[in-house]
Amino acid sequence: MTEEMTREHVEAFCPRFHHAVELIGRRWSGAILRAMLSGSTRFSEIAATVPGLSDRLLSERLKELEGEEVVIRTVHPETPVRIEYQLTDKGRALAPVIDSISVWAEEWLPEPDEAEMPMAGRA
């Protein structure tokens, strides 16, 4: 791609791109999606996979992702009731995006210090 073509793509505002970045870039959403792509389906599994994510915020983000049709919530009428969250086709299609961000982060971002790591229960 030439520099001129790159500049055109970067300068042009695209509402769909903006919406996508806001969706996966919302605090904790990317981490939740990464956990779900790794196979976590139950609320407690997702919460355990993402240190520092509060239950309240996890619930809020899952509802938002469900509203965007990225996640589907299934209630299994058992005793006790079992609720699972699955990525839809739309959600699974984010796998290459999440993988690309992971590769970029490994290459370009420093290893976080212990002090920078999220603490359990903090939102």
Asked whether residue 75 is domain-assigned, the answer is yes
The residues pairing with 73 across neighbouring beta strands, listed in sequence order, are 85
* CATH number of residue 46's parent domain: 1.10.10.10
- What domain range is 76 assigned to? 40-109
Question: What pLDDT score does 123 carry?
Answer: 40
Establish if 45 belongs to a structural domain.
yes
- 59 within domain boundaries: yes
Q: Which tokens is 22 given?
A: 């806001």
What's the structural domain count of the chain? 1
CB 121, CB 50: distance < 8 Å: no
Predicted confidence pLDDT, tens digits, the chain (123 residues): 555 556 666 667 889 999 999 999 999 999 999 999 999 999 999 999 999 999 999 999 999 999 999 999 999 999 999 999 999 999 999 999 999 999 999 999 999 886 566 654 444
pTM above 0.85, yes or no: no
Residue 24, domain member (yes or no): no
